[in-house]
Amino acid sequence: MASLSSSTHCCSSSSAYSNSSSLWSNHHHYYISNLEFSAISPKNPGSKKISLQSKGRPSSNAILMQDGAIATTATTVENEAPTKKSKDGLLSASPPEEHKEPIGFHVNNDQSSVSITVVGASGDLARKKIFPALFALYYEDCLPENFSIFGYARSKMTDAELRNMVSKTLTCRIDKRENCGEKMEQFLKRCFYHSGQYDSKEDFVELDKKLKELEAGRVSNRLFYLSIPPNIFIDAVRCASVSASSANGWTRVIVEKPFGRDSESSAALTRSLKQYLQEDQIFRIDHYLGKELVENLSVLRFSNLIFEPLWSRQYIRNVQFIFSEDFGTEGRGGYFDNYGIIRDIMQNHLLQILALFAMETPVSLDAEDIRNEKVKVLRSMRTLSMDDVVIGQYKSHTKGGITYPAYTDDKTVPKDSLTPTFAGAALFIDNARWDGVPFLMKAGKALHDRRAEIRVQFRHVPGNLYNRNFGTDLDRATNELVIRVQPDEAIYLKINNKVPGLGMRLDRSNLNLLYKARYSKEIPDAYERLLLDAIEGERRLFIRSDELDAAWALFTPLLKELEDKRLIPEYYPYGSRGPVGAHYLAAKHNVKWGDLGVDE
Ligand SMILES: NC(=O)C1=CN([C@@H]2O[C@H](COP(=O)(O)OP(=O)(O)OC[C@H]3O[C@@H](n4cnc5c(N)ncnc54)[C@H](OP(=O)(O)O)[C@@H]3O)[C@@H](O)[C@H]2O)C=CC1
Ligand SMILES: O=C1O[C@H](COP(=O)(O)O)[C@@H](O)[C@H](O)[C@H]1O
């Protein structure tokens, strides 16, 4: 078993199952109902299949291992009321059986195919993230044997032009350069382009024809990635569902944020999507959930004895979620001005991490069990009030002879815009575990550095024998656990220790797991993990609609108040540490921001 869980095959890395040592431990009888070993391929009788079925759950996941490849079958649990059928709806009219995931389709199997259509292929996200992530998956042998990639957008392009555009964005893994050029060539040959309107069923019919040609009669599994502005999501979903959904395999749609602007618009978007798709076909992406250290959060908590007992109000004084970028909205001001930092970062990325951080132990690693626990956290949270929020906007600043622009210098931003580019907030979870613990968030653009991290500040040691040695600032002597999501991924714990020598001088040191020192393997981009999960039907890292509703319910009243009253943000210089108001907010809750300390 040890060799299986330490497999380096890429598909094993996509699976949280192998990361949970408890699955393979002496508790395995809780998780595994049966183990089956067999030779499965008639063509290759020597090939081995091992299948593990989780216990006691009709819809539970299974893991198949075949010739070094590992496949998971996904769970399809309908937590929500069945959706209305669309008038012409190929997707929504499908009976549940048609949504069942073909088992092990991504193990070499010439009976099935997977096509990935990037809708909005000419855009920024497609070029920067989606095509490179797909290539990385191909390079790591994570894509099925019969796969094809289609770019779809209105721009006129030939296949060759798309390939040329994509080729400029592809890079090789730093740690694995061999055959990279060859692999790129092979990958590009699997990329095609179809030009069409997002609201044209006819254009999607043409796409369907091209897809069918490549599928060559195999079971067709189709993934559509909506990498387009939100105002055209529904048109594209309607046309794709009516004209280009799979007739005999699965059809899934990855939806990019923003998922609305508030509770009402988000609910309306969900209702519209559900006219054409079932909930289990909708993969709402929050790419922060695909980041390595966010994925590691549950492993850290639930597979180390030392953390979970401390994970409550009894030992934790406050928790901080910090996001900062050292650049402004350059190039995306048009989008950003309609949303602002609270919607762009807090309501989704930081809140999702908070929910994972604070949730109770899920029944299993099954997607629905995890998402059920996250929803409970979100629903236990206090709606945000203006008293617990500060907002800021960056202004122009000159440093070293260089003038950095103000937010409103962006030509796509109205001159009188009050949209916050910085926000700080204090949130509370009114449940037994977290009663009274401030969960502080801050997020900002055009700050002095780029970072995303979680900081857990522990309580003071009661009756500490060494209090005298710490001076007056006892807060500085408390333990702090830092999970640095980026850059330089790391987990470190600040502890107190004695300076070696005859005296009794105390020091603060870090027990530091710095990923680049510990692992030579390059950390995959979040989009790689999420795309692979979507292809495999693993929903754990995607947002369910009830999670989304609960997230919007927390922020919507505040956002309305900010906008109705046209509250003026505190202006901070480009490249600074943000508005002073953030310090007052923290101080009000007896907190000091951990990223601003002397030994941060
Ligand atoms: N870019 C990023 O870093 C991130 C983006 N996102 C989200 O991902 C999605 C895609 O983002 P991004 O690639 O930046 O978007 P783009 O603005 O680059 O749009 C993508 C493509 O959509 C088409 N398009 C753009 N505007 C319109 C319009 N008004 N009507 C019809 N078609 C239009 C264009 O293709 P054509 O003209 O060829 O049809 C364009 O190439 C968005 O929902 C965004 O919010 C989320 C996180 C980060
Ligand atoms: O979703 C978004 O995320 C990016 C930051 O993502 P990262 O992975 O580079 O940290 C942010 O710049 C953008 O405004 C936002 O829409």
Q: Provide the pairing of β-strand 422-427 with 389-395.
A: antiparallel
**Is residue 329 within 6 Å of ligand 1 at its C-beta?**
no
Based on the domain organization, do 169 and 255 belong to the same domain?
yes
- 44-67: pLDDT as tens digits: 333 333 333 333 333 333 444 443
Residues 142 and 269 in one domain: yes
- Ligand 1 mean position, distance from CA 391 (Å): 27
Residue nearest atom 16 of ligand 1, based on CA coordinates: 123
CA-to-CA separations, 275 to 235, 268, 348, in angstroms, rounded: 12, 11, 24
User: Do 202 and 302 belong to one domain?
Assistant: no
Which has the higher per-residue pLDDT, 481 or 521? 481
Give the number of other CB atoms < 10 A from CB of residue 155.
Answer: 14
Question: 363-395, pLDDT tens digit by residue?
Answer: 999 999 999 999 999 999 999 999 999 999 999
Report H helices in 58-194.
124-125, 131-139, 159-167, 180-189
CA 259 – CA 495 distance, rounded (Å): 41
One domain for residues 265 and 319: no
Active-site annotation holder among 349, 460, 583, 589: 349
- Please check whether residue 87 lies inside any domain of the structure: no
Of ligand 2's atoms, which has the minimum distance to the CA of residue 332? 14
pLDDT band at 298 (very low <50, low <70, confident <90, very high): very high
Report which residue type is found at 159: D
Out of 240, 265, 285, a domain closes at 285
* Pairwise CA distance, residues 463 & 361, whole Å: 31
Judge whether 82 lies within some domain. Answer: no
Question: Taking the model in full, what pTM does it have?
Answer: 0.84
Mean of all residue pLDDT scores within the chain: 84
Task: Please indicate, yes or no, if residue 351 is contained in any of the structural domains.
Answer: yes
Q: Specify whether 239 is located in the same domain as 102.
A: yes
265 and 294 share one domain: no
Query: What is the pLDDT, as a whole number, of residue 443?
Result: 98
Q: How confident is the model at residue 177 (pLDDT cuts 50, 70, 90)?
A: low
| Each residue's pLDDT tens digit, 126-141 | 999 999 999 999 999 9
Please report whether residue 469 resides in a domain. no
C-alpha 569/C-alpha 446 separation (Å) is: 15
pLDDT band at residue 521 using 50, 70 and 90 as cut-offs: confident
**Residue 535 belongs to a domain:** yes
In a domain, 269, yes or no: yes
Looking up residue 124, the CATH number of its domain turns out to be 3.40.50.720
Alpha carbons 270 and 548: distance in angstroms, whole number: 9
Does 293 lie in the same domain as 280? no
Q: What is the pLDDT of residues 91-105, one digit of tens each?
A: 333 333 334 343 334
- Which domain does 277 fall in, by range? 96-285
Which ligand has the shortest distance to the CA of 342? Answer: 2
What pLDDT sits at residue 91?
37
Choose the final residue of a domain: 231, 262, 285: 285
432 and 541 share one domain: yes
Ligand nearest to the CA of 285: 1
Q: Domain for residue 489, yes or no?
A: no
One-letter-per-residue 3-state SS of 266-330 = HHHHHHHHHHHCCHHHEEEECHHHHCHHHHHHHHHHHCCCCCHHHCCCCCEEEEEEEEECCCCCC
344 lines ligand 2 (CB under 6 A): yes
Q: Ligand 2 centroid to 207 CA: how many Å? A: 31
**What does the alpha-carbon distance between residue 538 and residue 74 come to, in Å, rounded to a whole number?**
5
Judged against a pLDDT cut of 50, whether residue 85 lies above it is answered with: no
Q: What pLDDT score does 20 carry?
A: 32
Using a 6 Å cutoff on CB, does residue 227 contact ligand 1? yes
Q: Does the Cβ of 120 fall within 6 Å of ligand 1?
A: yes
Model confidence at 493: pLDDT above 50: yes
Q: Lowest mean pLDDT of 192-206, 464-478, 510-524, name the range.
A: 464-478
Q: What is the pLDDT of residue 425?
A: 98
Do 220 and 114 share a structural domain? yes
The residue from 236, 254, 285 where one domain ends is 285
Domain CATH for 343: 3.30.360.10
Number of domains in the chain: 3
172 and 150 share one domain? yes
Residue 506 tokens read as 């105390």
Residue whose CA lies nearest to ligand 2 atom number 9: 325
Q: Is residue 472 part of a domain?
A: no
The answer to whether residues 160 and 225 belong to one domain is: yes
What is the CA(33)–ligand 2 centre distance, in A? 41
Ligand 2 atom closest to 288 (CA): 8
Please name which ligand lies nearest the alpha carbon of 346.
2
Distance from Cα 127 to the centre of ligand 1, integer Å: 11
Q: Which pLDDT does position 175 carry in this prediction?
A: 61
Here the tokens at position 376 are 């409970």
Closest residue by Cα to atom 7, ligand 2, is: 288
Task: Give the residue, by CA position, lying nearest to ligand 1 atom 38.
Answer: 155
Is 349 designated active site? yes
Same domain for 343 and 280, yes or no, is no
* pLDDT value, residue 519: 95
